[in-house]
Structure 1
Amino acid sequence: MSRVYETIPELLSMKSYPKELFYDGDLNLLKRTKISIVGSRKPTQYSRQMIQKLSSSLSKNGICVVSGGAMGIDATAHSGAGSSNTIAVLPCGIDLRYPAVNKNLLNEIQKSGLLLSQFEHGFTATPWSFVVRNELVVALGDVLVVGEADVDSGTMRSVEFALKMKKEIYVLPQRLGESSGTNQLARDSLAKVIYDIDEFVSKFSLSQNIEPIIKDDFIAFCTTNPTYDEALVKYPQRIFEAELSGEIEIRNGRILVI
């Protein structure tokens, strides 16, 4: 664990610049164009899939993804970007792994990406430290993408930070009755809707040649919630690779996309 001593310009938009900032990993990621992505800890399969595609496309086009290392949308954003193209801001000390379920993901980010925290070695997460973490996540990004959120969720606190910092907010198009928070933001014209991922990425990419999203037929098939036997017959080799890499999970004999 080391301290960050140089001033990070993006953090001047915070209510108060961090008194201390600790890191482990590659500080050069701070110099890249950055997009912050936040959202529900229990997102729908659709939101996971779209955030996975979005973060993957951002990463392939040289854009760093910033999130909070939590379950759900955060973990999907980090994994979609790849450990070497993402910054995880923690609500605890750099030496701790919270939540424990993301231990392997955070270890990979430590090795080739960047972990940031405003908290000393050994500090355990508390309700207020999540709020502190959220402000830092929002401040680092050029804009904020909200993958999914209910109206009264903690994610909407991040939206409040973005509004105070006068950052643009983007949301995914969602079905009625789902993600009430992002639907409200779009309805009230407080957020723009991402209807085309390539078009969104092109706004921030330095290259005019945006690398298109490559459709993965196997993952598309798995989003239909097939049985394990059906997937094994259709994609015998791919199913083992996907399970090992954590792309899918097998529950009660059926395939779920992670």
Structure 2
Amino acid sequence: MIQTIDFQIEALKDMKKYPKLFYLGNLALLNSKKISVVGSRKPNQYARSLTQELCSKLSAHGVTIVSGGAIGIDAIAHKSAGAEHTIMVAGTGLDTRYPAINKALISDIEQKGLVLSQFESGTTSKKYNFPLRNELIVALGEILVVAYGDLNSGTSRSVEYAQKMGKEIYVFPHRIGESEGTNKLLQDGIAKAIYDIDSFVSMFEEESQNRIEADEFLLFCRKNPNYEDVIRYDAQKLFAYELQGKVEVKNLKVYVL
């Protein structure tokens, strides 16, 4: 059943206007580390392969992939991460699975991951919806990865949002004449290159380990236990960690931030 998110998401305060959000799926993914991945609907095989490797390895290290559910890079990112490790941001109301070619993929994400929309049920695909969708995709992720993009493509708007929000932008290095939009981002010093996927992924692995290393309480809370169970486990530490912003109590469950 389509529901409305009734709490504020800190990352979205960077948006031009804080959105009203509808959702289907697992809201706990909002508490995970998130990376936004966008790109062309018609990427080359090189970009397809690297996107698949990147997203599968990131998800294996607990990173949630955020994308827009479109054909091309978006769909590859979602599939490679696995539905349970992905957030899809829709450009229509959630009563419509768009594009229809990705209907099965979107249904899978609804059941195992999370699908978000700023649009009321009944809202169809319209050109001006997608810049709004792209802003939300960028806002949710801690960084933006542009896997493939031509000059003056739709991904350029996502890059503009990331710049305004002060987020780091990463791209794959492409050959001359291919993905000229991302190559220009490198040339202009706007983006950083991902030369080695394992090295890139290790940055997030180390950060994730450092956050919970040697802390049995946080390890316990990673399973999203019931509030009452955590109170019995260590009430004093729960209250202290709430104040420190390390955990959050929501819907009578505890989540690690």
TM-score by length of 2: 0.80
Give, in angstroms, the shift of residue 207 of structure 1: 3.2
Report if aligned partners of 1:25, 1:112 keep a CA contact under 8 Å in 2.
yes
Report if aligned partners of 1:169, 1:190 keep a CA contact under 8 Å in 2.
yes
Alignment correspondent of 1:127: 127
Give, in angstroms, the shift of residue 204 of structure 1: 1.8
Alignment correspondent of 2:16: 15
- Give CA-to-partner distance per residue, 1:170-222, whole Å, 9 cap, x none: 000101000000000001110000011111112222138xxxxxxxxxxxxxx
The amino acid across from 1:125 in the alignment is S
Give, in angstroms, the shift of residue 112 of structure 1: 0.3
Alignment correspondent of 1:155: 155
Taking the aligned partners of 1:183 and 1:90, their CA distance within structure 2 comes to 28
Taking the aligned partners of 2:27 and 2:57, their CA distance within structure 1 comes to 22
Give, in angstroms, the shift of residue 151 of structure 1: 1.1
TM-score by length of 1: 0.79
Alignment correspondent of 1:142: 142
Alignment correspondent of 1:188: 188
Give, in angstroms, the shift of residue 102 of structure 1: 0.5
Q: Does 1:49 align with 2:53?
A: no
Give, in angstroms, the shift of residue 15 of structure 1: 1.0
The amino acid across from 2:51 in the alignment is I
SS in 2 for 1:87: strand
The amino acid across from 2:5 in the alignment is V
Taking the aligned partners of 2:37 and 2:158, their CA distance within structure 1 comes to 10
SS in 2 for 1:89: strand
Q: Matched residues, percent identical?
A: 56
RMSD of equivalent CA atoms:
0.8
Q: Does 1:3 align with 2:23?
A: no
The amino acid across from 2:209 in the alignment is S
Q: After the TM superposition, which residues 238-249 of structure 1 pair with which residues of structure 2 at under 5 Å, given as runs?
A: none
Taking the aligned partners of 1:95 and 1:173, their CA distance within structure 2 comes to 38
Taking the aligned partners of 1:2 and 1:16, their CA distance within structure 2 comes to 20
- Give CA-to-partner distance per residue, 1:196-252, whole Å, 9 cap, x none: 1111112222138xxxxxxxxxxxxxxxxxxxxxxxxxxxxxxxxxxxxxxxxxxxx
Give, in angstroms, the shift of residue 97 of structure 1: 0.8
Taking the aligned partners of 1:4 and 1:203, their CA distance within structure 2 comes to 31
Taking the aligned partners of 2:203 and 2:128, their CA distance within structure 1 comes to 34
- Give CA-to-partner distance per residue, 1:131-181, whole Å, 9 cap, x none: 000000000000000000011101111001001111000000101000000
How many residue pairs were aligned?
207
More helix by share: 2
Give, in angstroms, the shift of residue 101 of structure 1: 0.6
Report if aligned partners of 1:61, 1:207 keep a CA contact under 8 Å in 2.
no
Alignment correspondent of 2:74: 74
Give, in angstroms, the shift of residue 16 of structure 1: 1.1
